[in-house]
Amino acid sequence: MSKLNSNIPAGELTQKWTKYKSSVPLVNPANKRSLEVIVVGSGLAGASAAATLAEMGYKVKCFCFQDSPRRAHSIAAQGGINAAKNYQNDGDSTYRLFYDTIKGGDYRAREANVHRLAEVSANIIDQCVAQGVPLAREYGGLLDNRSFGGTQVQRTFYAAGQTGQQLLLGAYSALERQVGMGKVQMYTRHEMLDVVVIDGKARGIIARNLITGELERHFGHAVVLGTGGYGNVFYLSTNAMGSNVTAAWKVHKKGAFFANPCYTQIHPTCIPVSGDHQSKLTLMSESLRNDGRIWVPKKKDDPRKPSDIPEDERDYYLERRYPAFGNLVPRDVASRAAKERCDAGYGVGASKLAVYLDFKANTERYGRIEASKAGNHNPDKETCMRLGTAVIKEKYGNLFDMYAQITGENPYETPMRIYPAVHYTMGGVWVDYDLMTTIPGLYCTGEANFSDHGANRLGASALMQGLADGYFVLPYTIGSYLSKEIATKPIPTDHPAFVEAENEVKATIDKFLSINGTKSVDHFHKRLGHIMWEKCGMARNREGLTQAIKEIQDLRKEFWADVKVPGSADEFNPELEKAHRVADFIELGELMCIDALNREESCGGHFREEHQTEEGEAKRDDENFAYVAAWEYKGVSEFELHKEELNYENIKVAQRNYK
C-alpha cells in the first residue's frame, strides 16, 4: 500500500487546485524549448494536451493509429458536455456538479480530482467557443443547454447530436495549427507498442509505422497517454473498431498500475443486436431520454404493435420505480432496469432483448407549443404531431436518421427499440492528482485513466474530463515533473533500453506471424467478448467470474497456438494490428474478472448479484471496499492488489437514491 500516493494537495477542497496552480514549479521559455513530450492518442484528451503543451513552448510529438487525428473516437460522442455555468439560472454551481459526479460515480471517485474537474468545466466551454466550435444557441444568441441523466439542472452544452465531433474538430484545429507552425510533429498511422523506461522513468516509446511496418524509437522527457478506453474487450461495444487497450496495457506490464478495471459502463440506450454478423453497436444518445419515455408492455410476450398497445397497458418502469428522476436516472440504473424487465419476459422485438423508447407524448407536447406560438390554441392531434415532429427533428435529426438507416424502421412513426450496450470504461491506468502513473514521467489522461468517474460515469462527463485533462490540468501538472528535468539531455535512441524494447516488440510480431494457425484474430476476439459479456457484463457473480477466468486463460493458450495472422511485418497489415490488440484484450479481460471477483460489493456499473438490496439496487460495502483497486502486473495471470483508500471529507456518503 505504501507504493500508492495520490499526492492530493493539503488544504480545503475548494482551494486545493487554486493553491496548486500558484505554487507548482514553472519552466522558463528557453528550457521548455528543449524539453520533449510524447503524446500518444489524438482524441479530446490527447489532441488538447498536445496543442496546449506546444502553445506553451514544449517540443511535442503526437501519435495516432488512424489516418488523421480527427478520426479519434471522441468524434462519435453525441449528446453533450457538462459545465457548471449556471446559464439557465437553475441553481447550478461548481459544488453541485462536483456532488452530482461523486454521487453518480457511486462514491468511488476521488473528491479532489472531481472538484478540480468541476472547477475547470466552465473554462472548457469558454475555450471551445473561442475556437469557433458551433455549440447550440437560443434565439437570443446565447448558449443553449439540455438535461442529462443523474442531475436535476440543465448544464449540458451540445451541438445537435454531434457534440463530440465539434469539440474534437476544435481540438484538432488547435493541434493542426501547432503542426503547421512546426511545434508539434504529428505521426499518423503509427501505433505505440511499448514504453521505454530508463532508470525508472518513462523516456520514450516504440511505435510501429503502420504503412511500412517499420519499428521506430522516439525519445521524450515525458510520455502522455490519451489512448481512450477498453470497451472493445467485449468485442461488441459502441467503441470504434480500432479502439484498443494496447498502449495502456503495455505501460501496465512495464510497471504502471491498472485501477478498477471491472468498472465498465453499459449504456442503456443502444440499437439492439440484430445478428451474428454484427461488428459493433450503435449508441442512441442519452439526450433522447429528455424527450423519450421508456416502456415495455405490461403483458408478457405481447404480440401487438407498440402503437396498438393502449396507455394503461404500458409499463413506464423508470417513471414507476424512480419518480424523482424518471427517465433521466443514471446509466447504470437505467441499464439494469431494462435488463430486469427483459429477463422477466417483458422484452420486445424479435430477440425480446429490447425495450421501447417512445417520443410520441413529447412530440405532441412540442406540437401544441408550436401551434400556440402560431396562434392556434386548439390544435387537433394531427397538427400537433406534424409540428412536433419538426421540433424533434431539429433536436435529434441525425440520431433518428442513423436509427432508420441501421434498423430499416422509421422512429418518427414507431418507438425506437433499444437495449444496453458496452460504452465506456471508468477503470484505467492509475494516476495521482498530477495525472502521473506509477511510472515517473508517464502520464495518463482522458478515458484511459481511472480518475474521475468512480464506478459509474454520468452522461456528458467524458467530454468534460477529456478536455479538462488536456487543456487545463496536465499542462500545469506536467511542469511539476519537467521542471526537474531541465538538465536532462535527450537520450540517444541507441540506448540499450530502446534496443531491448524494440527487440521485444519485434519478437512478438515474429511470433504472431509464425503461428500460422487455423483461426482469424476476430474469431478469438468474438469468443473473448462472449465470455466477458455473459460473465463480466451487466450482472456478475462469483461462480461466473471464476469460470470466466479459467475460460480466458484457456482462450489465451489457444490464441497463441492457433491464431492465423496473414501477410508480413513490413507492410500495411491490419490483421497484425488486430493481433496485438486482441492479445492485450485477452490479458486485460482476465484482470477485469479478477477485479470483479475481488470487489465483493455492488457499486455503479459493477453489479454483483450477491450484493443487492431487496429492491434490486446496488448494495455497496463502504466499510470494506471504499478503495481504489490498483493492480500491479507481476507476470502472466499474476497481479498484486494495492489499495488507495477513498476519504470523503466534504460529501456525506449515502446510498444513492433517485426515487
Partner 1 sequence: MSTGNMNLTLQVWRQKNSKSAGKLVDYKLSDISPDMSFLEMFDVLNEQLITKGEEPVVFDHDCREGICGMCSMFINGQPHGPKDLVTTCQLHMRSFKDGDTIVVEPWRAKAFPVIKDLAVDRSAFDRVIAAGGFVSVNTGNAQDANNLPIPKSKADAAFEAAACIGCGACVATCKNASAMLFVSAKISQLALLPQGQPERYRRVQSMVAQMDEEGFGNCTNTGACEAECPKGISLENIARMNRDYLSAKFISEEEV
Residue selected from 143, 497, 569, 641 as contacting partner 1 according to rule CB under 8 A: 143
Residue selected from 3, 137, 304, 643 as contacting partner 1 according to rule CB under 8 A: 137
Nearer of residues 165 and 327 to partner 1, judged by Cβ: 165
Give 613: exposed, middle or buried? Use CB within 10 Å, 0-12, 13-18, 19+. Answer: exposed
Q: How many residues bind partner 1 (CB under 8 A)?
A: 85
- Report the site for partner 1 in 458-487 (rule: CB under 8 A): 471-472, 475
- Report the site for partner 1 in 51-110 (rule: CB under 8 A): 51-52, 55, 66-73, 75-76, 85, 87
Nearer of residues 7 and 131 to partner 1, judged by Cβ: 131
* DSSP annotation of 635: E
Rounded to whole angstroms, the Cα distance separating 213 from 512 reads 14
C-alpha cell at 273: 443486436
Residue in 525, 562, 564, 532 with CA at minimum distance from that of residue 549: 532
Residue selected from 409, 500, 522, 600 as contacting partner 1 according to rule CB under 8 A: 522
Residue selected from 343, 380, 401, 409 as contacting partner 1 according to rule CB under 8 A: 401
Query: Strand 36-40 to strand 59-63: parallel, antiparallel, or no bridges (unpaired)?
Result: parallel
Using CB under 8 A as the binding rule, whether residue 26 contacts partner 1 is answered as no
Any idea which residue has 536532462 for its cell?
Answer: 488
Side chain identity, residue 572: F
- Report the site for partner 1 in 500-519 (rule: CB under 8 A): 518
Give 181: exposed, middle or buried? Use CB within 10 Å, 0-12, 13-18, 19+. Answer: exposed
- Report the site for partner 1 in 570-589 (rule: CB under 8 A): 571-572, 574-575
Half-sphere exposure of 74 (CA within 13 A, CB side): 35
Residue 63 forms beta bridges with which residues?
40, 187
Q: 116, 331, 336, 527: which is the annotated catalytic residue?
A: 331
Residue 442 forms beta bridges with which residues?
223
Rounded to whole angstroms, the Cα distance separating 49 from 356 reads 40
Question: CA 370 → CA 267, 380, 468, distances in Å?
Answer: 32, 12, 38
Rounded to whole angstroms, the Cα distance separating 110 from 627 reads 10
Q: Give yes or no: 365 in active site.
A: no
Binding mask 359-398 for partner 1 (x = CB under 8 A): ----------------------------------------
Nearer of residues 82 and 127 to partner 1, judged by Cβ: 127
Using CB under 8 A as the binding rule, whether residue 147 contacts partner 1 is answered as no
Binding mask 181-200 for partner 1 (x = CB under 8 A): -----x-x------------
Residue selected from 109, 153, 160, 555 as contacting partner 1 according to rule CB under 8 A: 160
Instruction: Report the nearest approach of partner 1 to the CB of residue 41 (Å).
Output: 14
Nearer of residues 159 and 555 to partner 1, judged by Cβ: 159
Instruction: Report the nearest approach of partner 1 to the CB of residue 303 (Å).
Output: 18
Give 31: exposed, middle or buried? Use CB within 10 Å, 0-12, 13-18, 19+. Answer: middle
Given a contact cutoff of 8 angstroms between Cβ atoms, the answer to whether 465 and 442 are in contact is no
C-alpha cell at 619: 448494495
Can you spell out the DSSP letters for 135-202?
Answer: --B-TTSSBP-B--TT-SS--EE-STT-HHHHHHHHHHHHHHHHHHTTSEEEE-SEEEEEEEEETTEE
CB neighbours of 22 closer than 8 A, spacing ≥ 6? none
- Report the site for partner 1 in 258-317 (rule: CB under 8 A): 274-280, 282-283
Any idea which residue has 480518475 for its cell?
Answer: 451
Given a contact cutoff of 8 angstroms between Cβ atoms, the answer to whether 46 and 445 are in contact is yes
Using CB under 8 A as the binding rule, whether residue 345 contacts partner 1 is answered as no
Using CB under 8 A as the binding rule, whether residue 22 contacts partner 1 is answered as no
Using CB under 8 A as the binding rule, whether residue 227 contacts partner 1 is answered as no
Using CB under 8 A as the binding rule, whether residue 530 contacts partner 1 is answered as no
Nearer of residues 133 and 318 to partner 1, judged by Cβ: 133
Using CB under 8 A as the binding rule, whether residue 410 contacts partner 1 is answered as no
Among the listed ranges 25-33, 236-244, 382-390, 644-652, the one in contact with partner 1 (CB under 8 A) is 236-244
Residue selected from 117, 159, 354, 460 as contacting partner 1 according to rule CB under 8 A: 159
Using CB under 8 A as the binding rule, whether residue 153 contacts partner 1 is answered as no
Nearer of residues 86 and 456 to partner 1, judged by Cβ: 86
Rounded to whole angstroms, the Cα distance separating 438 from 631 reads 11
Nearer of residues 240 and 509 to partner 1, judged by Cβ: 240
3-state class (DSSP) for residue 458 = coil
Residue in 506, 509, 507 with CA at minimum distance from that of residue 578: 509
Rounded to whole angstroms, the Cα distance separating 254 from 195 reads 7
Among the listed ranges 238-246, 358-366, 607-615, 636-644, the one in contact with partner 1 (CB under 8 A) is 238-246
Using CB under 8 A as the binding rule, whether residue 25 contacts partner 1 is answered as no
Instruction: Report the nearest approach of partner 1 to the CB of residue 260 (Å).
Output: 26
3-state class (DSSP) for residue 110 = coil
Using CB under 8 A as the binding rule, whether residue 564 contacts partner 1 is answered as yes
Nearer of residues 211 and 507 to partner 1, judged by Cβ: 211
Nearer of residues 406 and 636 to partner 1, judged by Cβ: 406
Any idea which residue has 478503495 for its cell?
Answer: 627
- Report the site for partner 1 in 419-448 (rule: CB under 8 A): none
Using CB under 8 A as the binding rule, whether residue 39 contacts partner 1 is answered as no
Among the listed ranges 21-29, 365-373, 385-393, 400-408, the one in contact with partner 1 (CB under 8 A) is 400-408
Half-sphere exposure of 459 (CA within 13 A, CB side): 35
The set of catalytic residues is 331
